[in-house]
Structure formats: structure tokens, C-alpha cells
């Protein structure tokens, strides 16, 4: 595969990485009527994706189109909205296509099957699926947790939670203390001890910098 002379990213098709490769719904287990499919983009460039189905009346796909940044992944939610005895053991097909961002040039596609089973799922099958997902994350470690992911309710989130960022907390405390220090333009009391330490008087520009840094570290703390 080589770069296109017309400005395209790639010539030809690229592999499409999706997990799982088969979606299993179970008639008697309502928790399985909503499944999450992860689309990986291990490449260094951004792509757009589109999800199509041969029987769209039976399924509801949350955000069937979107963008995946380079070396990131996105979760899409597929709901089975026509669960009945008549549809048991029927197989449908979803096609996931990747396109070069900003164009309609097809980069690659992959088909996954959707099957409605009778009864309840085997508990071991869920644990096996988790192992396969972790194994795929090991192949693409940079896709472990990034922006653009969505949970089962379609809300963005990071896949992996982290411990509190103690460095960010320390920086936030320093910024807060700095904002409480007097500024050069404020008249100070003659009895103030700060008169003996003029270097503790900050300029307005310095306080604006501390306020900006405080906003950044606050976002970092809230994310973790």
C-alpha cells in the first residue's frame, strides 16, 4: 500500500478490526438485547465509519456514523428491538465500512453476524468474550483508553479508570494559594507581614496564569 499522489491516505483496502465478530442475542435474557461493538483504528490517520444492516427494522444502532481518531477506538451500541419467538435462530448481517476522512473513498469493510438464540447465554461465553477483548487490547495497547469511546448508553467515556492524580492535586493547591496572595495593584496594610516579603506580591498577569493552570488541572482531576 502506497500513498496516493492525489492526496489520498492509502491506495487499496485496509483491514478493519472489530470486536466481537458475531453478536449474540438471547430471547430470555433482556440484558443481552443490547450489545456493544468496538471498532478499532490502529492506524495513525483519522477515519470515518458507517454501520449498515440488511434488516434495519429489527435493530437500533446508536450513532451508526462517526469519526475515529488515529490509534483510538469507538464503541457503538446495537439494540435488538424485534425480539420474538418468530425471530429465534435467524441470522442478520451488519457491515462496518471505513472511509478516508472527508471523502467517500472506501478504505475497508467488515461484516459481522447477529443471531438471536433461544434461552439464556452460557456464563462461560461471557468470560471468554472478555478474554478475547483483553487480548485484542494487548495487540493494540495504544487503544486501551482514548477519547471518542462510548458506553452502552451512547455517552463518551474513557474505557479504563485511573487512580487520583496526586501531582495534579498538588499543583491545584499551589494555584489556589497563589490566587489568594495580594497583587501589586492592591494597597496592603501596614501591619501585614507580607510587606516584609515583596516577592509574595503577584502581578495580575501572573494570577491569570495560575487561574488558567488551575482550570487545566481541575479537568485532569475530574477525568481521573
**140: preceding bond cis by omega (within 30 degrees):** no
Q: What is the crossing angle of helices 166-180 and 204-223, to 10°?
A: 150
Q: Taking 60 as the threshold, does the pLDDT of residue 65 lie above it?
A: yes
Q: What would the pLDDT profile of 174-193 be if each residue is shown by its tens digit?
A: 888 888 877 766 555 444 54
Q: pLDDT confidence of 151, banded at 50, 70, 90?
A: very low
Residues 9-20: what's their mean pLDDT? 75
Task: Report the relative pairing of strands 91-100 and 47-53 from DSSP bridges.
Answer: antiparallel
- In order of 26, 89, 96, 100, 114, the CA distances from 48 in angstroms are 31, 32, 10, 6, 23
Please give the Cα distance from 9 to 149 (Å, whole number): 24
pLDDT (0 to 100) of residue 125: 60
pLDDT category, 140, cuts 50, 70, 90? low
Instruction: Cite the beta strand spans of 106-213 per DSSP E.
Output: 106-117
Q: Which residues pair with 92 in a beta bridge?
A: 114
Burial status of residue 108 (CB atoms within 10 A of its CB: 0-12, 13-18, 19 or more): middle
Task: Tell me: pLDDT of 48 over 60.
Answer: yes
* DSSP-derived pairing of the beta strands 22-26 and 106-117: parallel
Mean of pLDDT over the chain: 76
> What percentage of the chain has pLDDT greater than the value 70?
67
In this prediction, residue 185 carries a pLDDT of 62
Q: Is the pLDDT of residue 137 over 60?
A: no
Helices (H) and strands (E) in the chain, counts: 3, 9
Tell me whether residue 175 is exposed, middle or buried, using C-beta atoms within 10 angstroms of its C-beta: 0 to 12, 13 to 18, 19 or more. buried
Neighbour tally for 86: CB within 10 Å: 8
As a whole number of angstroms, the distance between CA 139 and CA 137 comes to 5
Question: Could you give the CA distance from residue 187 to residue 184 in angstroms, rounded to a whole number?
Answer: 8
Q: Whole-model pTM above 0.85? A: no
Q: Are strands 72-80 and 59-62 parallel, antiparallel or unpaired?
A: antiparallel
CB 114 within 8 A of CB 59: yes
Strands 34-41 and 17-19: antiparallel
Q: Number of C-alpha atoms within 13 angstroms, CB side, residue 117?
A: 12
Question: Quick one: pLDDT at residue 112?
Answer: 93
pLDDT at site 209: 83
From 4-8, 11-15, 119-123, 166-170, the region with the lowest mean pLDDT: 4-8
Amino acid at each position: 500500500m502506497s500513498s496516493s499522489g492525489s492526496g489520498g491516505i492509502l491506495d487499496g483496502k485496509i483491514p478493519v478490526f472489530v470486536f466481537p465478530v458475531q453478536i449474540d442475542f438471547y430471547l430470555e435474557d433482556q440484558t443481552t438485547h443490547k450489545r456493544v461493538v468496538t471498532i478499532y483504528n490502529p492506524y495513525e490517520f483519522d477515519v470515518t465509519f458507517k454501520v449498515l444492516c440488511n434488516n434495519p427494522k429489527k435493530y437500533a444502532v446508536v450513532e451508526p456514523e462517526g469519526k475515529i481518531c488515529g490509534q483510538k477506538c469507538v464503541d457503538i451500541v446495537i439494540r435488538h428491538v424485534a425480539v420474538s419467538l418468530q425471530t429465534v435462530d435467524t441470522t442478520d448481517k451488519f457491515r462496518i465500512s471505513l472511509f478516508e476522512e472527508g471523502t467517500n473513498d472506501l478504505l475497508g469493510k467488515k461484516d459481522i453476524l447477529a443471531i438471536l438464540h433461544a434461552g439464556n447465554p452460557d456464563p462461560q461465553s461471557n468470560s471468554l468474550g472478555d478474554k478475547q477483548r483483553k487480548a485484542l487490547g494487548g495487540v493494540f495497547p495504544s487503544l486501551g483508553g482514548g477519547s471518542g469511546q462510548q458506553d452502552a448508553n451512547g455517552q463518551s467515556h474513557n474505557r479504563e479508570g485511573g487512580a487520583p492524580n496526586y501531582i495534579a492535586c498538588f499543583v491545584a493547591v499551589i494555584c489556589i494559594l497563589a490566587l489568594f496572595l495580594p497583587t501589586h495593584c492592591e494597597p496592603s496594610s501596614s501591619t501585614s507581614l507580607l510587606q516584609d516579603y515583596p516577592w509574595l506580591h503577584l502581578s495580575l498577569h501572573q494570577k491569570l496564569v495560575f487561574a488558567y493552570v488551575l482550570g487545566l488541572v481541575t479537568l485532569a482531576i475530574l477525568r481521573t
